[in-house]
Structure formats: C-alpha cells, structure tokens
C-alpha cells in the first residue's frame, strides 16, 4: 500500500475514522466478470467528471523465457505500434486530441496500460485498448527502431545512472534462482538478440482477456460500465494462458556485498536488502508485521533510523526503509542511508549494523508499533481522495494474485498485528545470511559493456519515457 494520497476531511482524525465499523472498506469497489473471463473492477469517485481507465495483464518480466529478458517491457512498447485500423503512433495522438493522457508500465509481475480522460471519452479509449489487445499488428519494420529506443532507455536509466546500476546488481545478487534476478528492462546482450517473432509469440501467449483485469475509477458505476465492457472487451474470445511457473529461490547461506565506484558519485550511500516473504511466498504470516516493522524503522522523524542516525548520532543525512509484500514470489526488505558530510561510509555502516542488530535481538516497543499502525491506517484514508490510487492499488494487487477482499481488509489486518509478531518477523528476516549490502562510492568509472573505459556520466538524464 505505497504512495497513498491525502483524503481526510478537515477536522476528522484518523483515530475517529478507524474507530468506525466500516473502517475495513478502503475503496468500496464494485466488481463483475465478463463471459470471456476478464475481471472488471469499478472504483466510483464522483468528485469530477473524469475517469482513469486501466488494463492490467497478469504477466511481467518474471514470466519471460530463459535468454529473452526484457520481452515483457518490449511488448509494452510495441503495443503502441498500431493495429489494422489504428496506425502506429495514432493511439496516443487520439487520446491527447480528446483531452486525455496515456502511458504504460511494466513490472516483474504485471504490465499495465492506462488513459485518464473525461468520462464522455471513456467509450473511445475502451475501443482503442480492446483493439490492440485483440488486433495488434507487429512487424520487423517497427520492431527494429523500437528495440534501439529500448536500448537507449536502458543506457540512460540504468547504465548511465550509478544508483540504478548498483540497484540492478544488488537485485541480481539477492535473487540467485528467482526470475527477479533479471532486470525488468532486460540485459543488454539479450535485448540485442531477440527478434520480432519473439515479441509476437509473447503477446499471443499472454495478452488474452481472461488474463487481464479492467479497472476504471472515477465518475462511473458498475451498472454504467458493464454494457461498455461487454461491447468492447466481452467480444474478444478467451485463449489458453500458461501457468505462471516460477523457479524457487534456495535458502540463503551467505551475506553478499556489492560495491560500485563511479566518478559521478558525489554523495555516497549504503543500502541493504534482505530476502523476505511476500503475501504469496515464504513465511507469509510475516507480511503484515513486516509492513509495520518498516514503518517503525523508517517512518519519518520518529522512526528508528532517522532518530538514531540523523538526530542522535548525526552520522546520516538521510535514512529510509522499504518493503513491498505484493510480489508473486519472495520479495525484499530494504534499509538505506547516506552519510552526513565528513562521515565515512564505514562509520555509517557500523552504526546501521548496530541498530539493525538491536532491532533483531531486542525488538521494538508496543508504543512504536501503535504509532506505526496509526500512520499506516491513516494513509488508507488519504488514498480515497485520489482518482488514480484506487485503480493502481487494486489493479496491481489483483494482477499479482490478491483479491479485492484482501485489499479492502488491509486496515483490519494491519490493526491486528501485535508487537510480538513484529519482533518475530524482525528476527526471521533481519539475518546477515539473507542479505546483500550495496555501497555506492566515488571513484574510477570501470568499463562499459564492450570492455572500454566508462566515460563520465555528468549531465545524463533520466528523461521521459522514450516510447
């Protein structure tokens, strides 16, 4: 439940809100399923006459075949290359011409496409999206230049960004056998080798209505949406879809350290990833306690990291923690920090390791857990004011294997977490042998993918989506 937005009415406190019997209802969605198996979720929000229309496919980078990493992301790009009735490049132009905006994104576990438009333009974008689900036209003429776009995107966003490059290497070190070992964008040498036929096969294998979730949030109801969904998506025949077969991650046995030195690093940093259970894999009973633990450790000015390292010891200028339990497979629990000016990374690491060991052995307090749960529950209320948050949270959850009921019951399940459960989760996860430590340091730049000295990256930019 990340990136939740503000929605509390003035004068209503989180404590009052979550004392109400209906507190478990987060987004109050309406749902139905089309005859072809496509799931539909509606999140009514009648503040403005606008809707967010999203189609989520239950396929991501972790579902690719060996040797063809990046195919899921490549298919996302190629979805904009047209159909028999909508030529390449016209999809986004039509959406913009009608006052909307559109984009797409790929993760390890899902791929999603969205358009934000006025409600009276909803039939138009549904027609466009259904068309490219069923009638995508792919050829080598469009594929070859788009592959170069993806390679340039990889260069800009990963290879020219020391922080992103270190993160990629840390993930590869954490996951030894899981498909999460591979970056979503793919490895450069494999992107360069696969062909348009691989993209076509991937689209045909996974892009079926019975493997998709339609989520529409905004000024609409299920009764209004259902005939539109049946008209545009319901006529697409279902197809057999492969089982999402994932390789198992072996039990970790050694701690690992990844160090990256680069001349463009001006602010060193320290990060550690711990292999952790998710909602679906591993010791799943720890998924909710770990969310509370992350808030205790990294939750603002009162969190253990900020108070201990930034305020008290003054060895860090920044500190955070993170945990996302929604993965299909095992996930990671992260702790990160940057040293204060004049403080060596070794000194920061010494303080961080001592703090982590204290949490794993001594545990956290009842008061810390209570405050963390209050903050997490308040964030749910903040989400309700956003047109897009409900669509993103529900779509990502369903595409990763959860149910609508799981999302709606999240506040209750967080509220039920005990201090004992949080401390048990800390002991189970915060173990050296299940960790990868990443050090980002200033220094020589190393070599590029061709073995040549890597030039300075000063001035490089993340840019916008290069699609």
Catalytically annotated residues:
76
* Tokens matching residue 350: 């010494």
- Report whether 37 contacts 210 (CB < 8 A): yes
Helix (H) or strand (E) holding 356: helix 345-362
Count other C-beta atoms under 10 Å from residue 132's C-beta: 21
Helices (H), 179-233: 188-191, 196-206, 222-232
Residue with tokens 């993103």: 392
Q: Strand 269-276 relative to strand 435-442: parallel, antiparallel, unpaired?
A: antiparallel
Cβ–Cβ under 8 Å, residues 417 and 289: yes
Residue 247, SS3 per DSSP: coil
Q: At what angle do helices 345-362 and 419-429 cross, to 10 degrees?
A: 130
Which residues pair with residue 322 across a beta bridge?
A: 334
Neighbour count for residue 346 (Cβ, 10 Å): 10
Closest CA to 407 of 417, 418, 391, 393: 393
Helices 140-154 and 196-206: angle between axes, nearest 10 degrees: 90
- Distance between CA atoms of residues 189 and 222, nearest Å: 46
Which burial class, exposed, middle or buried, applies to 423 when counting CB atoms under 10 A from its CB (0-12, 13-18, 19+)?
A: buried
């Amino acid at each position: 439940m990340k990136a939740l937005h503000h929605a509390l009415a003035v004068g209503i406190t989180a404590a009052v809100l979550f004392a109400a019997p209906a507190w478990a209802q987060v987004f109050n969605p309406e749902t139905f399923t089309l005859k072809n198996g496509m799931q539909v979720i509606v999140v009514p929000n009648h503040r403005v006459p606008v809707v967010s229309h999203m189609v989520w496919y239950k396929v991501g980078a972790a579902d690719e075949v060996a040797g063809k990493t990046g195919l899921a992301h490549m298919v996302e790009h190629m979805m904009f290359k047209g159909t028999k009735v909508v030529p390449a490049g016209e999809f986004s132009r039509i959406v913009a011409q009608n006052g909307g905006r559109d984009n797409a994104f790929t993760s390890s576990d899902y791929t999603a496409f969205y358009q934000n438009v006025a409600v009276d333009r909803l039939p138009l974008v549904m027609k466009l999206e259904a068309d490219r689900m069923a009638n995508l036209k792919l050829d080598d003429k469009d594929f070859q230049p788009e592959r170069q776009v993806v390679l340039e995107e990889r260069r800009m966003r990963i290879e020219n960004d020391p922080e992103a490059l270190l993160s990629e290497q840390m993930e590869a070190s954490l996951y030894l056998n899981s498909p999460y070992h591979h970056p979503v964008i793919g490895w450069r040498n494999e992107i360069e080798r696969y062909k348009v036929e691989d993209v076509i096969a991937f689209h045909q294998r996974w892009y079926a209505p019975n493997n998709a979730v339609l989520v529409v949030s905004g000024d609409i109801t299920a009764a209004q949406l259902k005939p539109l969904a049946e008209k545009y998506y319901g006529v697409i025949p279902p197809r057999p879809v492969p089982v999402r077969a994932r390789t198992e991650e072996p039990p970790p046995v050694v701690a690992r350290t990844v160090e990256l030195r680069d001349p463009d690093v001006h602010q060193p940093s320290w990060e550690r990833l711990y292999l952790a259970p998710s909602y679906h894999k591993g010791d799943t009973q720890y998924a909710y306690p770990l969310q509370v633990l992350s808030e205790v450790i990294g939750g603002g000015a009162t969190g253990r990291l900020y108070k201990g390292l930034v305020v008290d010891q003054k060895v860090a200028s920044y500190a955070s923690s993170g945990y996302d339990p929604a993965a299909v497979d095992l996930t990671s629990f992260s702790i990160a920090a940057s040293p204060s000016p004049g403080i060596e990374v070794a000194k920061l690491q010494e303080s961080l390791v001592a703090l982590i060991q204290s949490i794993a052995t001594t545990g956290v307090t009842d008061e810390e857990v209570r405050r963390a749960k209050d903050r997490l529950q308040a964030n749910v209320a903040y989400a309700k004011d956003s047109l897009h948050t409900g669509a993103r949270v529900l779509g990502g959850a369903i595409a990763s294997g959860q149910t609508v009921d799981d999302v709606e019951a999240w506040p209750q399940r967080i509220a039920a977490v005990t201090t004992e459960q949080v401390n048990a989760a800390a002991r189970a996860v915060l173990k050296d042998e299940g960790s990868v430590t990443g050090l980002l340091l200033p220094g020589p730049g190393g070599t590029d993918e061709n073995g040549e000295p890597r030039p300075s990256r000063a001035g490089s930019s993340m840019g916008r989506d290069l699609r």
